[in-house]
Amino acid sequence: MTNTLLTDLLQSMGLLGIFLLIGVFLRAKVKVFQKTFIPASVIGGFLLLLLGPQVLDLIPCPAGWFDIYSLLPGIFIVPIVASVPLGLRIGIGKDSGGTNPEVFKNILPLIGIGLGTAMFQFAIGYGTHAAFGSQNLYDVFGIELAIGFVGGHGTAGTLGNILQELNLPYWEIFQGVGITTATFGLVGGILIGIVMINWAARHGQTALLKKPADIPESIRVGYEKDIDKQPAVGRETTMSSSIDTFAFHAGLIFMVCLLSYLILSGAKALKIPVLGSISVWAYGMIVMFIVWGIMCKLHIDYLVDGNIKGKISGALTDFAVISAIASLPIKAVATYIVPILVMVIIGYIVTTFISFFCCKRLLKGYWFEQMIGTFGMCTGVFLTGVLLLRICDPDLESPALATYSLSYTITSVIYFAMLNLFIMLPIIHGALYTALVALGIGVIALLFAAITSRISFGKMFKGNSNKNNAVV
């Protein structure tokens, strides 16, 4: 039985691999996909959904494979989130292997903007729930906007597992709505991001990209033909005679995942208040901070390369996205399509406004590059932000990736720590009360961004304009 289960898992992953490759091919050949920068995982996921048992049922494969796909996002999110702190370097200067100290002046405002945006998304989602309350929506309907936009497909899958553990009967429907919202966020975020990049390039708001035509062809099609121009994956920190570098990094990540599950299981067994209800990925991030800190103290941090870590988490993200989309429960989601569209559209508008306005007013130096990364994170996942950043800064010459990565890490810790609050509040106090709480926290977060910006840059800084786009 075990062998059969593992064989089914391997074969089902093979089918995902086929459609990922088809997605790569279509992205390289279809102009509309190139112009919109839709990832191959999204293209392949929708194609598999269309041909699978949910729609046309043209693929001769066991139906149980799609049950596996529905579970994969909830599994993959643990190593994806746990890997975030690994390799994070916060030095006082470039000579130390860290980041330019001037970069840090934008980090606290970015944290406030990112967290404030997420809280406003919670408020919009639960506000929509309150407005459509007569349609007998399930208790936590509305959380999907922030879960799907900021958390992404993997988080949506994981939250479904948490609701299942709480014995809430609507967990599967929730997961479907969450994945739908995440897909809207990912695709819409990329499209809106492209529009903003084109506008910024034409109006002199991008520090490095001077016109939209400067976007490299390789980014459009998804590959680089010239071998000499293909970027290196990362440093080979270990010798293959001992262990492959990718295996070493994966070993660290999976070790932390195991420790996180053990800690969570222990907290539940001992019935420790609060600690027993914290999500496993939150433990994963905390444990990884500790592990990485110990490695730095022992001066063995040279064994870790951030790019290698990023490739592992990126690969897991691609498989999480395609499996989540392929297993989307269309019929169940269709029941809630009107409130979904309402909260998604309002979410687009508010997220775009907060990201653009606040970053333009509160950040100094490469403000647009840092904004577009944060906007991508607030509508998709970390890698969406990196994608948009690479479009306007192909060679990553600006410090935007450093500020974005550091602010994302801290924002993620706070965000994931607060998820349980927004699961339990609507169940106990209702959607409207939860929306008001989220709105209040969001306002506080944006005030924090404004105050830290004033402290960092002084009263004389009045924001960026076409004539004042100074860089640090």
- Identify which has the larger pLDDT, 304 or 382: 304
Confidence of residue 217 (pLDDT cuts 50, 70, 90): confident
467 pLDDT more than 70: no
Nearest C-alpha neighbor of 319 from the set 383, 252, 256, 257: 383
pLDDT at 93: 45
Which of the four pLDDT bands, split at 50, 70 and 90, describes residue 89?
low
- Residue 127 has what pLDDT? 96
Asked whether residue 96 carries a pLDDT value surpassing 60, the answer given is no
Q: How far apart are CA 20 and CA 40, in angstroms?
A: 6
**Residue predicted with more confidence, 107 or 383:** 107
Model confidence band, residue 13 (pLDDT cutoffs 50, 70, 90): very high
- Who has greater pLDDT, 300 or 218? 300
pTM, full prediction: 0.77
Write the CA distances from 139 to 153, 423, 429, integer angstroms. 21, 9, 10
Each domain of the chain, given as residue ranges in start order, spans 2-219+243-457
Yes or no: say if 416 and 435 are a contact pair by the CB < 8 Å rule.
no
Per-residue pLDDT band at 247 (split at 50, 70, 90): very high
Distances (CA, A) of 68 to 136, 180, 320: 30, 18, 11
What is the pLDDT averaged over residues 305-322?
A: 87
> Please, which pLDDT band fits residue 103 given cuts at 50, 70 and 90?
low
Mean pLDDT, rounded, for 301-322: 89
Query: Could you tell me the pLDDT band of residue 254, with boundaries at 50, 70 and 90?
Result: very high
- pLDDT score at 416: 75
The vertex-423 CA angle with 417 and 425, nearest 5°, equals 105
Q: Express each pLDDT in 147-193 by its tens digit.
A: 888 877 667 766 776 777 777 888 778 878 888 888 888 888 888 99
* Tokens, residue 468: 């004042």
Confidence of residue 215 (pLDDT cuts 50, 70, 90): confident
Question: Rounded mean pLDDT of 27-56?
Answer: 89
The answer to whether residues 171 and 160 touch, using CB atoms and an 8 Å cutoff, is: yes
Mean pLDDT (the chain, rounded): 85
